[in-house]
Structure 1
């Protein structure tokens, strides 16, 4: 456990379980984002020629491209949420260190860790769903 020297009531350690899951999830998000970018680039260079009366291929490709774009937006929202957690936890730890007599600050740190754990489960489930989605 990585624990800095902390206030008299004890340091607030890094939550190793959450950090490990966070690292793995960030890697999965990064991999998925790269794959979506590659797919998006490939689709853009494969645009079929628009012909009179038969634009079905173009319409299908536009719909798929829209789906890929929406998925990439969702993945970017996951990245933003994970970055927000680090900032919020850092603020809560700083408050707990500054006011060690206020137990609610220490409790807040643990609540943030629990919240992120649940969020990571949802994010990983959604990543799995993105890979297996067949729409």
Structure 2
């Protein structure tokens, strides 16, 4: 469980940094929206919105990881206070099992976030780097 938590925290921290970097870069690429032909700028705005959503989701994941330790500490403190009550041991085990499932879900959500962002950036790369559609036709590869 410790290794899974450590992996989850590291991956969420990485997602945090990557999303911030991509968001800054994308905002620097957004052109002035003039009359007509601003579809590329709309695509960039949509991608920026998705980056913000992934950033917020990452914050939620990190809060969930911290919550695991807080819950466990509360159960352990109560168990130490009432050592003859066996319900606390079962509560800790159930909490650990539930949190393990949540961590696995968080890691799957990370995979979906990375995959979704990569897919959308790849499909719209020409509009991201050249939103007006003029000049060069650079592609990602």
- TM-score range (shorter-chain normalised) is 0.7 to 0.9
2:65 paired residue number: 82
Correspondence 1:70 to 2:53: yes
Match of 1:46 among 3, 17, 29: 29
TM-score normalised according to structure 1 size: 0.83
Q: Gaps spanning 5+ residues in structure 2: where?
A: 121-141
Q: How far, CA to CA, are the matches of 1:68 and 1:21 in structure 2?
A: 25
Partner of 2:115: 132
Aligned counterpart, 2:104: 121
Is the counterpart of residue 55 in structure 1 residue 38 in structure 2?
A: yes
Q: Report the alpha carbon displacement of residue 33 of structure 1 after superposing the two structures with TM.
A: 0.9
Aligned residue among 12, 23, 29 for 1:29: 12
Alpha-carbon RMSD: 1.0
**1:49 Cα shift?**
2.1
Q: CA deviation at 1:131?
A: 1.6
Deviation of 1:58 (Å): 1.5
The number of aligned residues is 118
User: Which ranges in structure 1 are unaligned for 5 or more consecutive residues?
Assistant: 1-17
> Higher relative contact order by CA 8 Å / sep ≥ 6: 1 or 2?
2
Q: CA deviation at 1:32?
A: 1.1
C-alpha deviation, 1:71, in angstroms: 1.0
TM-score (norm 2): 0.80
